[in-house]
Structure 1
C-alpha cells in the first residue's frame, strides 16, 4: 500500500496525505480524519523515512547516479549537496546501473530510507521512474536529456543551440566539409536519445544557414569507445574520395578514437582536420590536442535540480517541464592552434 493509493482513495493530493498523516496544522481536521480513516482501511503504514521525519530526524533527499560510466555528473552532485546544505538538508547518493529496472528497484527501496525526495540523473525512460516515485509518495526531479516525453521537472542543456554554435565555430574557421560522428544506436533502443537528435539538428541547421547542403555521407555512426585506438567508421570515410576538413563528435568521449584515427592517416589536427566535441568533460582535457567543445553548465544545472526539489518539499511543486541551460563554446587546440587568438 502506497501514499499515492491513499491519496486516490481519499480524493486528495499526495502532499495533502503526507501532511495529514504528519499532523500538520495547515490541513483541516475533517481532511485529516478522512485521510487517516482511509489509511487505516487500506492498511497503509508510514515508511521508515516518514516516521524519522515526523520524529524530527535529519532531513534529506536522494540523488541517483549512474555507476557504469565516468562521473561526468560529479559537479552536478556537488552543486546539489551545496544547495541542500544551505536549506538544511543532507544528500544521500545511490549509484546504480543506467537501466529503468535498476532505477525503479532502487526507488522502491527508498520507502525504508529517511529521504523526502529524489533527483534522478540520466533516465532512459521517465514514466516507470515517475510511477515508482508515486507508489512510495515522494517527489522527483530529473537531470536528463535523453527522454523525449517527460513526467517530472527536467533539467538539461540546450543541445540544439550548443551544437549549432560548435558547427558555426568550425564554419567560421573556413571548414566546409564537416563530418558529424555519432554513437551507433544501442541495442534495444527504438530511437536515438533526445540529446543526440538535437545535436544533429543543430549541426544541420548551422550548415543550412551557411548555404551548405548537408551531405549524408558525412554523418557517420560508430561503435568506437573512448579507449579504442581506432575508429573504423571514420577510417572508411577518410579512405574514400570524400574530403573531410573537420569532425564534430556528438560527445567528447568519441573524440579520442577520432583523433587517433586522423593521426593514423598521417593527417594533422587541427591543420588538416579540426575536431570538436560536446560536454566539456574529462576526455576533452586528456586528449592531445585538447578538445574544443560545448561546455554544459553542470554546477548550475545541479543547483537548479536541487532548488526545484526543495520547492516541491516546501509545498510549491514545480510544473512538469524542461528547464534548458545554455552551453558555452570552449575553444582549444583541436580547432585553433592558438585559441587565445580566436
Structure 2
C-alpha cells in the first residue's frame, strides 16, 4: 500500500490510523501523520477491504415503491438521518420496472455493499423474506399490508388513528359520518375502518354501512370526483362528516361535496389520514391524522442494525399517530 510505504509503517497501523474512532495502539502524532499522507495521495478506504476485515459494510439498503405516493419520502429522510447517527450509509433502491418487484430488487443486491434491507410498503413478504435470506441479509418491513407479519415490521397504529379521526368529527357534533375508502384491501385499511367503528361504538352511535364507500382511485390518474360519493349524495343521503382513508382521496371527495352544493366544513367536516404534502394544498386545507414518519424511519434502521447481530422477532411494532388540525374539520 502506498500510504504504508510512504509513512514507513505496516498496513495494519494504517488501517487503525484511518479508522473513524481513535485506536489506542496508534499515537495521535502517528495518526495525524498517516492521515496527512493519505490525503496527499488521494487515498480512499475500500469498502470491500473493510468488509473483509470487519464482516460489515456499515451500509443499509432501502427498497422504495415505484408509484407516486409521498408518504415514504419523509420515512426515507428520517431513516437516512438515523443511519448516519449510527455510522451507517443509507442506499435507496426504487423498484421501478424491475422484474419481481421488491423481491427482485433485493436479489439484485448481490453485488451491492450492504448489511441489511428495509422495504417500504410491500405486501409480498414471503418473496421478500426468501430473497433476503438467499443473500443472508436481515430484512425489516415498514408499513406492509400483511395482517400477520412474517418479517420484523414497523407501522403506525392505524386503528388508533382511525378512531382518533372519527372521534374528532364526533366531538364537533357530527353524527352522520361517511367513510371514503379504496376498493383494495390490506391490513392498514382494515385497521383504519375498525377504528372508525370503534369510535361509533364508544359514542353509542350505530354505523350506517351505506355510508362506508369503496371508491375506485387509480394511483396515477385520480378521478375528478368519486362517482360512488356523487351517487350517494344525488340520492339525497345526508352526511355531516367524512373520514377519508388517506389524504390522496380527499381531493376528489371534496370536489364531490362541492358538486353537490355542500360546503366544508360548514355542511360536512372532513378528516384525512397520513398528513402528506398535498393535505396542505386542498381547499380548504385538510385536517388529517399525521403518521409519525420520523419514528418509523428511525425504528426501522434500529431494527435492521440489531438484526445483524441477534434475531429480531417477526412482529409488528406500532407507533402512535397524531391529529393535525387545519380548516376542513
For the structure 1 residues 98 and 272, does the alpha-carbon distance in structure 2 shift closer, same or farther, using more than 3 Å as the test?
farther
Aligned to 1:4: none
Q: Deviations over 1:246-303 (max 9, x none)?
A: 1110111000000011111111000011111111112211101011111000011100
Task: Write the distance in 2 (CA, Å) between the matches of 1:165 and 1:200.
Answer: 11
Aligned to 1:264: 259
Task: Write the distance in 2 (CA, Å) between the matches of 1:267 and 1:215.
Answer: 20
Unaligned runs of 5+ in 1: 1-48, 186-191, 336-342
For the structure 1 residues 183 and 323, does the alpha-carbon distance in structure 2 shift closer, same or farther, using more than 3 Å as the test?
same
User: In the comparison of the two structures, how many residue pairs are matched?
Assistant: 281
User: Which structure 2 residues correspond to residues 208-219 of structure 1 after superposition, within 5 A?
Assistant: 208-219=201-212
User: Which structure 2 residues correspond to residues 1-342 of structure 1 after superposition, within 5 A?
Assistant: 53-55=51-53, 58-97=57-96, 101-185=100-184, 192-224=185-217, 227-313=222-308, 315-335=309-329
Task: Write the distance in 1 (CA, Å) between the matches of 2:303 and 2:190.
Answer: 26
SS at match of 2:103: helix
Larger Rg: 2
- Confirm or deny: 8 A CA contact 1:100 1:123 kept in the other structure: no
1:99 Cα deviation after fit: 9.3
Q: TM-score, normalised by structure 2?
A: 0.81
- Confirm or deny: 8 A CA contact 1:98 1:122 kept in the other structure: no
For the structure 1 residues 282 and 98, does the alpha-carbon distance in structure 2 shift closer, same or farther, using more than 3 Å as the test?
farther
1:61 Cα deviation after fit: 1.1
For the structure 1 residues 86 and 304, does the alpha-carbon distance in structure 2 shift closer, same or farther, using more than 3 Å as the test?
same
SS at match of 2:207: coil
Task: Write the distance in 1 (CA, Å) between the matches of 2:146 and 2:255.
Answer: 32
1:70 Cα deviation after fit: 3.1
1:133 Cα deviation after fit: 0.7
Task: Write the distance in 1 (CA, Å) between the matches of 2:216 and 2:136.
Answer: 40
For the structure 1 residues 145 and 292, does the alpha-carbon distance in structure 2 shift closer, same or farther, using more than 3 Å as the test?
farther
Structure 1 consecutive aligned stretches of length 4 or more whose deviation exceeds 4 Å: 49-52, 55-58, 97-100
- Confirm or deny: 8 A CA contact 1:285 1:291 kept in the other structure: yes
Task: Write the distance in 2 (CA, Å) between the matches of 1:311 and 1:72.
Answer: 25
For the structure 1 residues 146 and 258, does the alpha-carbon distance in structure 2 shift closer, same or farther, using more than 3 Å as the test?
same
1:67 Cα deviation after fit: 2.2
1:102 Cα deviation after fit: 1.2
- Confirm or deny: 8 A CA contact 2:70 2:277 kept in the other structure: no
